[in-house]
Amino acid sequence: MNGRLAVIGLGPGPLDLLTAEARAAVEQADALFGYGPYVDRLPVRDGQARHVSDNRAELSRAQAALMAAEAGACVAVVSGGDPGVFAMAAAVCEAVEHGPESWLNIAVTVHPGITAMLALAARIGAPLGHDFCAISLSDNLKPWPLVERRLRAAAEAGFVMALYNPISRARPWQLGAAFDLLRGVLAAETVVVFGRAVAREDERIDITTLGAADPARADMATCILIGSAETRIVQRGALSPLVYTPRSAPA
Amino acid sequence: MNGRLAVIGLGPGPLDLLTAEARAAVEQADALFGYGPYVDRLPVRDGQARHVSDNRAELSRAQAALMAAEAGACVAVVSGGDPGVFAMAAAVCEAVEHGPESWLNIAVTVHPGITAMLALAARIGAPLGHDFCAISLSDNLKPWPLVERRLRAAAEAGFVMALYNPISRARPWQLGAAFDLLRGVLAAETVVVFGRAVAREDERIDITTLGAADPARADMATCILIGSAETRIVQRGALSPLVYTPRSAPA
């Protein structure tokens, strides 16, 4: 008898940023699979097993979870943010497609969550209020020239950009290279926002410009927004500024 | 004394797809402002005023809400999906920037929600598992040639695309024109998904190809995903297929 597998988005961190549906799915699971810091956010429940694995072990984690589901368990794979955005849902789909045929019979459901760019955008106003794109800067799974091509295309076409996975110990230079490339296309005054650990206790948000953007301000927990030519900052005296991209765009 | 204004994302429809934070913010409000069908999703609470306005009256709705907040009320502007994605948060920021100076002192908070593309993606697998963009097809607030330029740039650079506001009575031809343009860049077998009223009772999801995509399948409540060359469909016999974009991409 098959169990089932839920891929669950935990949002940016606090439990009140989960949907009720995602929270219920976590509670129903016999076993949780996930990257340690994500699993650690969840209250411990008696009888619920926890299988913690490394950040980069996405495919093997997905396979282990599918094996447990096939054995009859109600399994949850937990993911920060939204599981469909540079996270576990694609890894589970890959594992299903390339795994044993029996895995095609495992019921897989995905519970969406608040992905990092939406959490950061909400914190500062509405920087994603117009057309935008999301790009992972990691070149572990795609060639760097492809990242560069996408950055250039998005900048030239006037998209606001959200950069995921901007930097890590193993990928120290990519964010600086991205800023350099973008400085060749966009004005130095273009709004850039670093959002680190958004909505968590150690949140740090820096609003700056492309000309002044320093890659050293980012770490693995940072999402970076690059504005379009229309993105604006509204200073508000005692209150923090609003950063937004107007709904309308010129020709 | 100033009140405050919360811009709240209601997600795709069902109340269990709101975050707990968004739900609490709705409950605390003295007055709700929003498009009728969104306000109608929310349970009625004694003493909570409801100000319903038309779909296209975003700026005047934002202004009315700011006036009520300035008068001391705790105001909620509700938005389907995420308020920062083609929704009310940018309209509120515009109203603040261009309104009376006193509005700069109104505390504005944005509560993120599950935007349509994330809800649709979760329903079918992980089509947004790699770099992607979101484009509004409405040319009410931007010139159509700009929409075309962005569609072409995104397709040529290999982004998965989520198309918002694909069609309406006043904009009947734009989606067909977008498909025609994309057929000139992408293969006819490119995966296209129509997601109408996702997660609601009248949900309808059509998985098709760019070659066969019929604009008449869409209405105002539809979000459309255009896959990249990598986006795949995994057939699963009795279960519905999984649509996903692998985490890795070739050069």
- Chain B hits for A126, Cβ within 8 Å: 83-84, 89-90, 92-93, 110
Q: How far apart are CA A54 and CA A2, in angstroms?
A: 27
Distance from CA of A148 to the nearest CA of B (A): 10
A143: its two tokens:
């060639």
Averaged pLDDT score across all residues of chain A: 96
User: For the CA atoms of B2, B101, B58, B53, what is the dihedral angle to 10 degrees?
Assistant: 50
Q: How far apart are CA A15 and CA A23, in angstroms?
A: 8
In A, minimum Cα distance to B152 occurs at A157
In A, minimum Cα distance to B234 occurs at A97
pLDDT above 70 for A61: yes
What local confidence, expressed as pLDDT, does residue B251 receive? 73
Give the distance, in angstroms, between the CA of residue A239 and the centroid of all CA atoms in the same chain: 28
Give A3 or A185, the one with higher predicted confidence: A185
Asked if A56 and B101 count as a contact pair (C-beta separation under 8 A), the reply is no
pLDDT band at A10 (very low <50, low <70, confident <90, very high): very high
* 3-state secondary structure at position A131: coil
Q: Whole-angstrom distance between the N-terminal and C-terminal Cα of chain A?
A: 59
Task: Please report the number of interchain residue pairs, chain A to chain B, with beta-carbon separation below 8 angstroms.
Answer: 257
Asked if B138 and B146 count as a contact pair (C-beta separation under 8 A), the reply is no
Element (H, E) at B126: strand B125-126
What local confidence, expressed as pLDDT, does residue B41 receive? 93
Q: How far apart are CA B227 and CA B241, in angstroms?
A: 15
Enter the DSSP assignment of B81. Answer: B
* 3-state secondary structure at position B168: strand
Q: How far apart are CA B233 and CA B240, in angstroms?
A: 10
Q: How far apart are CA A151 and CA A27, in angstroms?
A: 40
Which segments of A10-157 does DSSP mark as H helices, in order? 20-28, 36-39, 58-70, 88-98, 116-124, 144-156
pLDDT single digits (tens) B18-29? 999 999 999 999
Element (H, E) at B36: helix B36-39
- Chain A hits for B19, Cβ within 8 Å: 11, 16-19, 114
| ipTM here | 0.97
Other CB atoms within a 10 A radius of the CB of residue B55 amount to: 12
- Give Cα separations from A115 to A112, B21, B180, B206 (angstroms): 9, 15, 32, 25
Which residues are A161's β-sheet partners?
A133, A226
Please, is A189 exposed, middle or buried when counting C-beta atoms within 10 Å of its C-beta (0-12, 13-18, 19+)?
Answer: exposed
What local confidence, expressed as pLDDT, does residue A1 receive? 54
Distance from CA of B12 to the nearest CA of A (A): 11
pLDDT above 80 for A15: yes
Cβ-nearest to B128 among A85, A111, A146: A85
pLDDT single digits (tens) B83-124? 999 999 999 999 999 999 999 999 999 999 999 999 999 999
Q: How far apart are CA A247 and CA B79, in angstroms?
A: 15
Cβ-nearest to A251 among B58, B83, B145: B145
Give the distance, in angstroms, between the CA of residue B113 and the centroid of all CA atoms in the same chain: 10
pLDDT single digits (tens) A75-128? 999 999 999 999 999 999 999 999 999 999 999 999 999 999 999 999 999 999
Cβ-nearest to B247 among A19, A128, A141: A141
Interface test with B, best of A120, A244, A248 (most B CBs within 10 A): A244
Sheet holding B125-126, edge to edge: B125-126, B239-244, B232-236
pLDDT per residue rounded down to tens, chain B (251 residues): 568 999 999 999 999 999 999 999 999 999 999 999 999 999 999 999 999 998 889 999 999 999 999 999 999 999 999 999 999 999 999 999 999 999 999 999 999 999 999 999 999 999 999 999 999 999 999 999 999 999 999 999 999 999 999 999 999 999 999 999 999 999 999 999 999 999 999 999 999 999 999 999 999 999 999 999 999 999 998 999 999 999 999 87
In A, minimum Cα distance to B159 occurs at A150
Q: At what angle do helices B144-156 and B174-183 cross, to 10 degrees?
A: 30
Cβ contacts of residue B100 below 8 Å, gap of 6+?
Answer: none
pTM for this entry: 0.98
Cβ-nearest to B143 among A86, A111, A251: A251
